[in-house]
Chain A
Amino acid sequence: MTLPPKNTSGFKWLVSLCMAGLAGLSALLVMSLGSHPRPDAGCATRDRVPLIRPDYSDVVIPPNIAPLNFVVDEPGTGCFVRVSGDLGDPIEAFYPNQKVVLPERAWHDLVAANQGGHLSVAVYIRSVPNETAGVNALSWMQFNTITITIAAEAIDNTLVYRRIRPGHTTWREMGIYQRNLETFEERPILTNAQFKEGCVNCHTFCQNQPDKMAIGIRSAEYGSPELLVDHGQVHRIGTKFGYTTWHPSGRIVTFSVNKVRQVFRSAASEVRDVLDFDSFMASYQCDTGTVDTSPSLADKLRLETYPTWSPDGKYLYFSSAPLTWGDQETLPKDYDQTRYDLVRISYDLDSDTWGELETVLSAEAEGRSILLPRISPDGRWLLVSMCDYGCFPVYRASSDLYRVDLTAPPVNGQRVAQRLDINSQASESWHSFSSNGRWIVFSSKRLSHIFTRTFIAYMDVLGDIHKPFVLPQKAPDLYDSYLWTFSVPELITKPVQISPRALAQAVRDTDSLPILMPVTMATPKAGTGAMYSEPLRE
């Protein structure tokens, strides 16, 4: 027997061709590096800062943030950018497509060298060629320098968010992801591809620590459990929690149970709207695996939602509105008149006793619905979303962030809420604090009214919040075409260590920790676990 003749000449040709191609490319690269256009010394100037997107001018950034890549939105055939500070080596390069991607290592060196100081971003635009003068007549235009302030305090290095499509009632792909803020790395914590496209709901951490985490799940195939992660152990709780908050002790998880209904608008800018037909709150005791509540948390005549514990664990803050409809099936005519008060109730952990309910901010006095309370780690600042009505600020363009100084004495028995300057015409919501209290992250629709993006803002020691900036991305134009929304941004001090596989396995497990809802619960249908009739999308 003989082997078929080996014909290697074709292969050799191919290899030769590849080598030649590589050599050519290398030569081109070397030539292009060597001939980077630079602006002339005496180029024309424009007395304004250049238009860049995302807008990073005059923002305050953490010293550990990833490079602020951006697109220069000025007409031209390229731009030269120099990023410099008082100390360290400046970064400078020419970008023919005007998409400025800064080198990560050089950026971090420069930012670290100037921590607590400023960065200057000088942008030079190379003009559009003049047809008569030709390419040789290309000139440069210099703009005013963009200033970026670098704060002394770092931000927690990990941001966790839910990434979903802006859907209404249908969903396919979604997941909870963690983003390293120092780089651009995004890794999944749990995606629904791991459990047949079920729904991954909101995530909550205990005091910015990744060791204690709660995730709500809803799946046609695997039920609607709550996953509680406690130092690497995943517990599958046999009922779904709504909006969830950890007691700072880590021993109690307080949650709302919401009967959500989605509503559609026929002519508003935002098509979707949401109301809670009913809601109440309860607490899961991690040690005993039991659930209890209090009449103040489950008032038959009120809607209670968005619980949050104060950092000292002595108060539970939440939103509460009167329940004005009896029918739980048809859309109430006055649903867009519902406004939530902000209330709080004291709690003693040792004796497990609840105190008296008190109003922190009154909807009637504010003329708005007060939602999503979050308190700074030092206990001083309370941030809330306020919108014209209802319980879902992310769908309300009127939703703005307000700040309350909890240490300031009440005026006429009421605390004073101050609207923040960082708001826009679009919805602002889902805010949270960093572990050091110097940074807040929040969701905003200011870039487009459908796609929620995450913004970061610096809060100084006086409580003033500086101009926010959108979460930087490696591709500077990512937000121009990104069909995903970032929802519920939460900062944590380090990445979640538990693997997506372990979490998915817990979702698919049939063994849950059974819990019994208290039969004394005031709101009807308690204990059925069937209060979730519609997915909460964002």
Chain B
Amino acid sequence: MKRTKTRQPQAARSVPTEPCRFDWQLLMADGLFYGLVYVYLWLGVGTHFIFHGAGLISNFPSFYTTRDFAAHTLSQLGGVTLYASAFLSQLFYHAWLGAIVVTAQAWLFGVCLAYVVKMSGVTLWRWVRFVPAFLLLAMYSQYLYYVPTTMALLLALMFASAYVYMASRLAGIARLAVFLVLSGLCYAAAGAPYLVFVLVCALYALLGARLPVLACVQVLIGSAVPYGMGVLVWGMDTPEAYTRLSPISWTLLSFESRSLGMGLVYALYALIPGLMVAGRAWPWHSPVLFKSHARIRSVGVMVMSVAVGAGVAGMSLDPQRQAQLAMDYYAAHRMWPQVMQTGYKLPGDEYALHALDRGLYHTRHLGSELFNWTQTPNALFLENTSHKRALWIGYAVAMEMGLLNQAEHALTECLEGLGDRPIVLEHLALINMAKGNVGTARVYLGALSTTLFHRTWANECLALLKSDPNLTSDRDVQYLRSVALDQDMPTVKYPPDEMMKLLLKKNPGNRMAFEYLMTYYMLHNELVPLADNIGLAANMGYTALPTHFEEAALVYVYTKKKPLRLEGMTPNAKLSQRIKQFSQILARHQGNAGAARSELETSFKNTYFFYNVYGPKPRTSTAVAP
């Protein structure tokens, strides 16, 4: 009988021999681990805070369901990554959906890692497949946004896994052909993280298939592809062709806010190639006990993985950033009890204070509980800061008060600086509807109507614009029109007190403008203009003047030695008594404020009397860089 000589692919010599079989233990372990990861990301982290961004995340992508957006995005180098990232990032809007995205990403990283490493003939601890999940947990616990960068890597690793799968069944030139085809696809889809694909393929050839020549050829080809495709086909500059979508891209490194915690991304990028090399250099052999007791091993691996995961999540959690993001999210959604609660976690944070003050106004406590928090003069209007966050956070107060142009200015800056986020488009549309700029409103609504989660409101508004072009039936628009400033004043920078006075001139019953004006004067210790304008309180429908405003009026009377009429309001006898006590304590210390501080702090810390003496002075210079 003639013996048929069959040629086995070379890779077969070094490929692990385990036949494919369904491993229930592995599945359960993975299910349990990733299930816990999911629950933590959903309930512990909350991707909706990242979606909102709070003006801290400046590279969150927008996504539209239009063909133009798809064509434009997909035609770019790394277009698949960009499109997928933009789409998946929108799912962060719902915490439960966002957690699925991140967990799935972590799982896919783990699958690719386990497969590639195993096929390279490298034996590693089984829990190593959870390391990408640990790194992602650390990233999301710090509320860092690296979806495009990690998505590009994931795509590169999936291509690498596909290559390994095919190469293990092919030989010679076919293997190189597969590498070439996948190279082109991978680079087009993932951008510069393609270089990780090249590295993994070369390491597989070197360590798994033991084909050093092939490895060298792959490295040579791999290093030329970005030039060939990126520079010559896409017309990019050479550095861009080699760095696009990678963690060393200028689009990340040039911005401090976009390169926070970059070490974690670098670690994720280095993980698989590093493990392939390290596993070969220092092979891991399971202890005899583990070999004979598979169940003990599985349980041990599971317990250890969960413990490490919990440790990573716990240690890397950034409570301050969490509070900053949460605070702005709650304020944007008018969740005032949560705003107050979160405010305690951010002492001294002017942005948080700004939201707190807004929450106090909306719960009708601005005039009575303002000094329950340590106030600073600049927080009320986020004055003297040119940071984009001030625009992001500050537009809401301007809009609610009636300063529509100021809000439009802030939002338009956000549109450019932080991207066309749905919340920005929504408010720009509303402002332009209120201003009667229907054409402009339609453009913003048109864009919004092609987003994933804000289309309903936009379509309703577009329908309303058709049926009622003047929007007479829209309550929000009517409110904005009722408070909107109508006196034009050209200025380089909007002066808050002048603006509020103009608002009150138009609408003397604008309670927000009045309370903010009084608060502004109090925080700046400007008692003369406060006294000049406090009479407007008569238009606000108060039964009694808010406590702090009256305290300020009393300080005015005491310091200026001038009487002050509280139009139609009955003075609070208790407050008169309190200021007397305050003065007596100060007098007992011969007017030495420093010496009297501890005694006054006990009883008067939450009063304007105390702030007037011990409060911080307003900053006058702009020092914060964008």
* A pairs with B: yes
- Which A residues contact B (CB, under 8 angstroms)? 1-7, 165-172, 194, 196, 261-269, 271-273, 331, 335-336, 447-451, 475, 477-483, 499-501, 504-505, 508
Beyond contacts A3-B12, A170-B416, A501-B235: 17 other A-B pairs, Cβ-Cβ < 8 A, are A1-B15, A2-B12, A4-B20, A168-B413, A168-B416, A169-B413, A170-B388, A171-B416, A263-B492, A264-B491, A264-B494, A266-B406, A268-B405, A451-B440, A478-B68, A480-B443, A480-B446
C-alpha spacing A447/B443, complex, angstroms:
9
Q: Does B509 contact A (CB under 8 A)?
A: no
Given A196-B250, A264-B405, A167:B415 Cβ within 8 A = yes
Looking at the assembled complex, report how far the CB atom of B6 sits from the nearest CB atom of chain A, in whole angstroms: 11
- Say yes or no: B437 contacts A271, CB within 8 Å: no
Looking at the assembled complex, report how far the CB atom of A8 sits from the nearest CB atom of chain B, in whole angstroms: 11
Proximity string of chain B (382-415) to chain A, C-beta cutoff 8 Å, 1 when within and 0 when not: 0000001000000000000001111011001101
- Say yes or no: B415 contacts A165, CB within 8 Å: yes
- Say yes or no: B485 contacts A267, CB within 8 Å: yes
Contacts of B487 in A (CB 8 A): 266-267
C-alpha spacing A18/B267, complex, angstroms:
39
Q: Does B502 contact A (CB under 8 A)?
A: yes
- Say yes or no: A261 contacts B492, CB within 8 Å: yes
- Say yes or no: B20 contacts A7, CB within 8 Å: yes
Looking at the assembled complex, report how far the CB atom of B487 sits from the nearest CB atom of chain A, in whole angstroms: 6
Contacts of B412 in A (CB 8 A): 166-168, 271
In chain B, what residue has the closest Cβ to A173? B416
C-alpha spacing A305/B121, complex, angstroms:
72
Contact for A482 among B12, B18, B443, CB less than 8 A: B443
Contacts of A268 in B (CB 8 A): 405, 488
Q: Does B566 contact A (CB under 8 A)?
A: no
Proximity string of chain B (440-469) to chain A, C-beta cutoff 8 Å, 1 when within and 0 when not: 101110110110000000000000000000
C-alpha spacing A450/B416, complex, angstroms:
14
Given A331-B492, A449-B439, A501-B237, A264:B449 Cβ within 8 A = no
- Say yes or no: B491 contacts A448, CB within 8 Å: no
In chain B, what residue has the closest Cβ to A195? B237
Contacts of A267 in B (CB 8 A): 404-405, 484-489
- Say yes or no: B499 contacts A266, CB within 8 Å: yes
Proximity string of chain B (1-34) to chain A, C-beta cutoff 8 Å, 1 when within and 0 when not: 0000000110011010111100000000000000
- Say yes or no: A167 contacts B443, CB within 8 Å: no
In chain A, what residue has the closest Cβ to B407? A271
Looking at the assembled complex, report how far the CB atom of A105 sits from the nearest CB atom of chain B, in whole angstroms: 20
Q: Does B490 contact A (CB under 8 A)?
A: yes
- Say yes or no: B68 contacts A172, CB within 8 Å: no
Contacts of A477 in B (CB 8 A): 446
Q: Does B210 contact A (CB under 8 A)?
A: no
Given A7-B20, A165-B415, A481:B488 Cβ within 8 A = no
In chain B, what residue has the closest Cβ to A330? B492
Contacts of B408 in A (CB 8 A): 271
- Which B residues contact A (CB, under 8 angstroms)? 8-9, 12-13, 15, 17-20, 64, 66-68, 168-169, 231, 235-237, 240, 250, 254, 388, 403-406, 408-409, 412-413, 415-417, 419-420, 432, 435-437, 439-440, 442-444, 446-447, 449-450, 484-494, 499, 502, 626
- Say yes or no: A481 contacts B254, CB within 8 Å: no
In chain A, what residue has the closest Cβ to B498? A266
In the complex, 13 of the A-B residue pairs with CB atoms within 8 angstroms, ordered by the A residue number, are A1-B15, A5-B20, A165-B416, A167-B417, A263-B492, A264-B493, A264-B494, A266-B403, A267-B404, A450-B432, A451-B443, A475-B68, A483-B444
Given A267-B485, A271-B405, A475-B68, A331:B12 Cβ within 8 A = no
Contact for A5 among B19, B237, B499, CB less than 8 A: B19
Looking at the assembled complex, report how far the CB atom of B427 sits from the nearest CB atom of chain A, in whole angstroms: 14
Interface centre among A267, A479, A505, A508 (most CB of B within 10 A): A267
Looking at the assembled complex, report how far the CB atom of B526 sits from the nearest CB atom of chain A, in whole angstroms: 21
- Say yes or no: B169 contacts A3, CB within 8 Å: yes
C-alpha spacing A268/B405, complex, angstroms:
8
Contacts of B489 in A (CB 8 A): 265-267
- Say yes or no: A504 contacts B488, CB within 8 Å: no
Contacts of A501 in B (CB 8 A): 231, 235-237
Contacts of A481 in B (CB 8 A): 64, 66, 443, 446-447, 449-450
Given A194-B240, A271-B408, A480-B446, A263:B67 Cβ within 8 A = no
- Say yes or no: B13 contacts A1, CB within 8 Å: yes
In chain B, what residue has the closest Cβ to A7? B20
Looking at the assembled complex, report how far the CB atom of B450 sits from the nearest CB atom of chain A, in whole angstroms: 6
C-alpha spacing A1/B513, complex, angstroms:
81
C-alpha spacing A500/B240, complex, angstroms:
13
Looking at the assembled complex, report how far the CB atom of A458 sits from the nearest CB atom of chain B, in whole angstroms: 25
In chain A, what residue has the closest Cβ to B413? A170
Looking at the assembled complex, report how far the CB atom of B372 sits from the nearest CB atom of chain A, in whole angstroms: 33
Contacts of A169 in B (CB 8 A): 413
Contacts of A262 in B (CB 8 A): 492
Contacts of A172 in B (CB 8 A): 416-417, 419
Contacts of B405 in A (CB 8 A): 264-268, 271
- Say yes or no: A263 contacts B437, CB within 8 Å: no
C-alpha spacing A1/B12, complex, angstroms:
7
- Say yes or no: A3 contacts B8, CB within 8 Å: yes
In chain B, what residue has the closest Cβ to A75? B466
- Say yes or no: A167 contacts B68, CB within 8 Å: no
For the complex of A and B, the 7 pairs showing the least CB-CB separation, nearest first, are A481-B446, A448-B439, A167-B416, A480-B446, A448-B440, A267-B488, A481-B447
Given A172-B416, A504-B237, A269:B435 Cβ within 8 A = yes
- Say yes or no: A335 contacts B490, CB within 8 Å: yes
Looking at the assembled complex, report how far the CB atom of B114 sits from the nearest CB atom of chain A, in whole angstroms: 14
Looking at the assembled complex, report how far the CB atom of A286 sits from the nearest CB atom of chain B, in whole angstroms: 27
Interface centre among B240, B415, B626 (most CB of A within 10 A): B415
C-alpha spacing A449/B626, complex, angstroms:
28
Looking at the assembled complex, report how far the CB atom of A196 sits from the nearest CB atom of chain B, in whole angstroms: 6
C-alpha spacing A6/B231, complex, angstroms:
39
- Say yes or no: B416 contacts A263, CB within 8 Å: no
C-alpha spacing A82/B168, complex, angstroms:
59
C-alpha spacing A6/B20, complex, angstroms:
10
- Say yes or no: A331 contacts B439, CB within 8 Å: no
C-alpha spacing A478/B17, complex, angstroms:
57
C-alpha spacing A3/B66, complex, angstroms:
46
Interface centre among A1, A500, A505, A508 (most CB of B within 10 A): A1
Contacts of A167 in B (CB 8 A): 412-413, 415-417
Looking at the assembled complex, report how far the CB atom of B14 sits from the nearest CB atom of chain A, in whole angstroms: 8
Interface centre among B9, B67, B435 (most CB of A within 10 A): B435
Given A267-B488, A449-B440, A2:B415 Cβ within 8 A = no
- Say yes or no: B13 contacts A448, CB within 8 Å: no
C-alpha spacing A172/B236, complex, angstroms:
18
Contacts of B66 in A (CB 8 A): 475, 481
Looking at the assembled complex, report how far the CB atom of B290 sits from the nearest CB atom of chain A, in whole angstroms: 24
C-alpha spacing A169/B409, complex, angstroms:
10
Looking at the assembled complex, report how far the CB atom of A399 sits from the nearest CB atom of chain B, in whole angstroms: 17
Contacts of A168 in B (CB 8 A): 409, 412-413, 416
C-alpha spacing A261/B492, complex, angstroms:
8
